[in-house]
Structure 1
Amino acid sequence: MKILNFGSLNVDYIYEVENFVLPGETISSNNLVITTGGKGLNQSIALAKAGATPFHAGAIGSANEDMFIGLLNMVGVNIDHIEKLPGPSGHAIIQVDKNGQNCIVLYGGANQQINNKFVDGVLNSFSSGDIILLQNEISSVEYIMEKAYKKGMKIYFNPSPANQKLYEYPLHYVDVLILNEVEGEQLTGGRNADNITEILLKRYPEMKIVLTLGEGGVTYADKDRRENHGIFDTVVVDTTAAGDTFTGYFIASAVKGIDIRESLKYSSAAAAIAVSRLGAACSIPTLQEVEEFIKHQMNKKVLKLI
């Protein structure tokens, strides 16, 4: 079974600020970090660090080639399906405030130049039973879903960022939907975890749903099963890649055949480590770090249960 992540590749400009800038306001930042990011790249790195061997498909600007290729090679992500295009890579301007919260402005760049021909070429290398992971930061997502479904691939979808495009996608093709409570409310109008999962399962009875709830932990739901897991107590420095870390670890755990509740534990622990570090891709922990963290936290009994 192969894992293909068809996703974004961004250059992140991370500004540490006291508070988010307001309309008409000019502020100074305390620090600037320029690094690799994008939900696609972060999730591929999380998959690799969790012990999977993912293939990444996506597009970058030629000026940033070494920045991405070197990192992905180093962590064990297959880069055969990354295309170099003229023009800039996608990038993100990220403000991180003194509480570790963030706000993000995205520019699509090469991520928005992925066309049907490119998609067809990539998917020719994959077959029925393989996994494909998608987010909402690249072009041609609807086409990718349709082609992957016809090939019999298992579709994992992280509907982020949530926008009007989501309503055009064939979500009935999605096997596993991994989303946060804000995205869940935007998709369903639901105001809490039970409401969101109930609405989604009514619309898509065969879908498996993983709903992250910030300080409320995470809820898993399918037509036969419900599971909840709390968060691990940690110092929050930067929440930028928390969701991406969780997603990569959850999928890697599922591929290994690990039970859902154990998968939620490992994914939650990995996300807890990520938020304790500044940056996106660079904050994602290794599997060994996660295992050591869980052992230490369980000994302290500091899991915040839902």
Structure 2
Amino acid sequence: MNASLKFLTSHSDVGMLHNFGSINLDHFYRVPHLVRPGETLAGHDYRVGLGGKGANQSLAMARAGGKVRHWGRLGRHDAWAKELLEQAGVDTDSIALVDEPGGHAIIQVDDHGENAILLFPGANHGFSEAELSELIEAADPGDWLLAQNECNALAKALELAHARGLNIAFNPAPMTEDVAALPLELCRLLFVNRGEAEELTGLPEGLRRASCSTP
């Protein structure tokens, strides 16, 4: 868990953490090599697990003692993932089971540890403005909204959350060109790595260090 998430889960006055985040099912295939174009390849191991940056962060924060409510969308046949989050202490009342394919990833891992990932966002990209308005109105001013760049309608979610008086923490991963157009000035916390910081600021690491240094 990074330092920002530790901050959110270690302060008793933080209140409820509303995590507007992805829920994916990760399908792992062990293969002798990554599949080449036009090739059919047999894998020699398979497992499925809970994934998605949103779900993983909800699990981590709940296990660290935070009060976490996950906002998500999941295919009905994947209800076991909702049960897994609930067993970990996550409030799952705001996870909708829907009649559409859920988000999932197909992950190849070869014998050298290299991987290739195909991601299908599925239900994670099905949030309506009406759904978001209802979720945000149910939150108390002063609560926190945590979001990642794996669900749709992010700009509207940030605007509505700010208007409601929520503190906003945002993780731009996976980084895309659309992130720069989001109202990031509404966020109280940004979780960024070095590469993401360079993309958002337009400054190379060395120049940014120089601009922040003191004589």
> TM-score scaled by structure 2?
0.82
| Aligned position for 2:145 | 132
Counterpart for residue 102 of structure 2: 89
Seen in structure 2, the aligned counterparts of structure 1 residues 130 and 198 have a Cα distance that, compared at 3 Å, is: farther
Deviation at residue 29 of structure 1 after TM alignment: 3.1
Structure 1 residues 198 and 88: CA distance shift in structure 2, 3 A:
farther
Task: Return the match for 1:114 from 127, 152, 166.
Answer: 127
Q: Does residue 54 of structure 1 match 2:68?
A: yes
Gap regions ≥5 residues in structure 1 = 202-306
Q: 1:94 to 1:185 in 2, by over 3 A?
A: farther
1:70 is aligned to 83
1:15 and 2:29 aligned: yes
The aligned runs of 1:193-212 (5 Å cut-off) are: 195=207
Specify the alignment match of 1:212 in structure 2: none
Does structure 1 residue 43 correspond to structure 2 residue 57?
yes
In 2, Cα distance between the equivalents of 1:148 and 1:18? Answer: 47
Q: Structure 1: how far apart are the matches of 2:70 and 2:46?
A: 28
Q: How does 1:134-173 map to 2 (within 5 A)?
A: 134-173=147-186
| Secondary structure of 1:78's aligned partner | coil
Q: Alpha carbons of 1:195 and 1:154: their partners in 2 closer, same or farther (altered >3 Å)? A: farther
Aligned-partner residue type, residue 61 of structure 1: G
**SS class of match (2:93):** strand
Runs of at least 4 residues off by over 6 Å: none
2:5 corresponding residue in structure 1: none
Give the TM-score normalised by structure 1: 0.59
Decide whether the 8 Å contact of 1:12 with 1:94 is kept in 2: yes
Post-superposition Cα deviations, 1:111-164, rounded to whole Å, max 9, x if no partner, equal 111011110111112122111110011111111100111122111111111112
Alignment gaps of 5+ in structure 2? 1-14
Residues 221-259 of structure 1 deviation map (CA, whole Å, 9 limit, x = unaligned): xxxxxxxxxxxxxxxxxxxxxxxxxxxxxxxxxxxxxxx
**Secondary structure, counterpart of 2:191 in structure 1:** strand
Which amino acid counterpart does residue 21 of structure 2 have in structure 1?
G
Structure-2 change in CA distance of 1:62 and 1:184 (3 Å) = same
Per the alignment, residue 20 of structure 2 pairs with: 6
Kindly tell me: are residues 195 and 145 of structure 1, through their superposed partners in 2, closer, same or farther at Cα, counting changes over 3 Å? farther
Distance 1:196 1:120, change over 3 A: farther
Length, aligned pairs only: 199
Q: Secondary structure at the match of 1:172?
A: helix
Identity across the alignment (%): 36
Alignment check: 8 A CA contact 2:137 2:164 kept: no
| Aligned partners of 1:5 and 1:54 also within 8 Å | yes
User: Larger relative contact order (C-alpha < 8 A, sep ≥ 6)?
Assistant: 2
Aligned-pair CA distance for 1:26: 4.8
Contact 1:57 1:82 in 2 (8 A): yes
1:186 has 2:208 as partner: no
Find 2:189's aligned residue among 168, 176, 192: 176
1:28, CA displacement in angstroms?
A: 4.1
Q: Please say if residues 184 and 196 of structure 1, whose CA atoms lie closer than 8 Å, have aligned partners that are also in contact.
A: no
Which amino acid counterpart does residue 142 of structure 1 have in structure 2? A
Using a 3 Å threshold, how does the CA distance of structure 1 residues 175 and 25 change in structure 2: closer, same or farther? Answer: farther
Letter matched to residue 181 of structure 2: E
Matching residue of 2:92: 79
Find the aligned partners of 2:32 and 2:202 in 1 and give their Cα distance.
33
Higher normalized helix content (fraction of residues): 1
Superposition RMSD in Å: 2.5
Alpha-carbon distance between aligned partners in 2 of 1:125 and 1:101, rounded to the nearest angstrom:
43
